[in-house]
Amino acid sequence: MPARRAVTVTAVLGSAALVILGGLSGRITVPAAASAAPSAAASAVPAAAPAAVKAFDEAGVSAGLGDAFTAAQWTKIHDAGFKLFMTDPVDWSSECSDDNCTAPVNTCTVDPAAVTQIQDAMKAGVDYAVYTRNPNCLTAAIKGLGPTLEAHLSFAILDIETDPSVPPSAALVAGVTALGVTPVFYSYQGAWEPITGNTTAYDGYPLMDAEVPNWSAAFPAPHPSGFPALIPMPHPYGGWSGYADIEQQQCCTDLAGIDSSSDQVDLDAVNAAWLATLPQS
C-alpha cells in the first residue's frame, strides 16, 4: 500500500505514472485509471453500504518525509472522528531499492520514531495497524513494535502492488497468523492481476482496496463526498467484489486541521462491523 508522497509525477511510462506518494501507495508506480467498465461482479453488491468509520494511512516518518504528529495533534485526529491509522514502521531504504521500490530489500529495520508515533496514537485512543511496502518485511514490522503494541495490533497488511511486485504466498500469510495477527491484503486490479494471474486463492481474507481516483491530485485533495461511506469496488479482482472491508478513497490530503503538505495522508473508509470483530479493535 503504500509509502510516501511529494506528490510529484516524475515520469510517465506507457499507462503508468511514477509518483512519489505517501501512505499505502506512496513511492509507487501507479497505473492509470482503468478505462474498462466495471465488471458484472461490481453490480452484485448489497442494497445498502455497511456502516463505516474514518481511517487514514501514511508512511512519512519511516520514509523521512513528514507525518511526525505531536501528542496534541493525535488528540485532534481522535476528536475529528478518526478511529484507525495504518502505517509502515520500517525504514524505507531497508525494504526498497529506490524511491519507487523497484526491487525489494529485505533488511527490514524498524524505525523507532515510527513506533513512537504508534504509541502516541494509542495513547490518544486511535487504533492502528501496520503494513510494509515490501511484504517480506511485514513480520519484522510486527515484531519490532514491542510486546505491548504488538499485543494490541488489530491487523497487518500484506501490500501487493507493482514495484516491488512481491507476490502473495502461503508463507507470507502464515508469518502473520503465527504472530496471532489478522492478515489483510492491499492491492488494486492493475497490480493483482499481473502479479498473481488474478488468483482467487486469497479471497477469504479481508481486502484493503485502492480506489484513489487520482494519485497526482494537488494537496490538499478534497475529502470524498460522504466520507467515510463505503462504495462498491469499481474494478473487482482476485475473487473480491462488492464492498471491501477497507477502501483507500483519497490521497494527498489533510486531516483534523493539520494542513502542512509534509503531513499529508491517504483517507480510508473501514467497515465498522468488520473492525469490531477483530480482537484488539
**67 or 255, which is more confident:** 255
Residue 42 placed within a domain: no
Residue 254 placed within a domain: yes
Interhelix angle for 112-123 vs 71-79, to 10°? 50
- Please give the share of the chain, as a percent, with pLDDT higher than 70: 82
C-alpha cell at 30: 501507479
Residue 39 placed within a domain: no
Task: Give the tens place of pLDDT for each residue, 206-226.
Answer: 999 999 999 999 999 999 999
CA distance 139 to 203: 21
Residue 43 placed within a domain: no
pLDDT at 169: 98
Q: What's the mean pLDDT in 195-204?
A: 98
Out of 34-38, 55-59, 133-137, 159-163, pick the least confident: 34-38
Q: What's the mean pLDDT in 98-121?
A: 96
Residue 198 placed within a domain: yes
**Domain count along the chain:** 1
CA distance 145 to 52: 27
**259 or 245, which is more confident:** 245
86 pLDDT higher than 80: yes
> Band of the pLDDT at 111, cuts 50, 70, 90?
very high
- Please give the share of the chain, as a percent, with pLDDT higher than 90: 77
> Band of the pLDDT at 154, cuts 50, 70, 90?
confident
Task: Give the tens place of pLDDT for each residue, 169-184.
Answer: 999 999 999 999 999 9
CA distance 203 to 233: 14
Full-model pTM? 0.87
Mean pLDDT over each residue of the chain, to the nearest integer: 86
38 pLDDT higher than 60: no
pLDDT at 23: 65
* CATH (domain of 216): 3.20.20.80
Residue 168 placed within a domain: yes
| Residue 90, strand partner residues | 110
Residue 38 placed within a domain: no
Range of the domain at 116: 5-32+48-276
Residue 9 CA, chain-centre distance (Å), reads 20
Residue 12 placed within a domain: yes
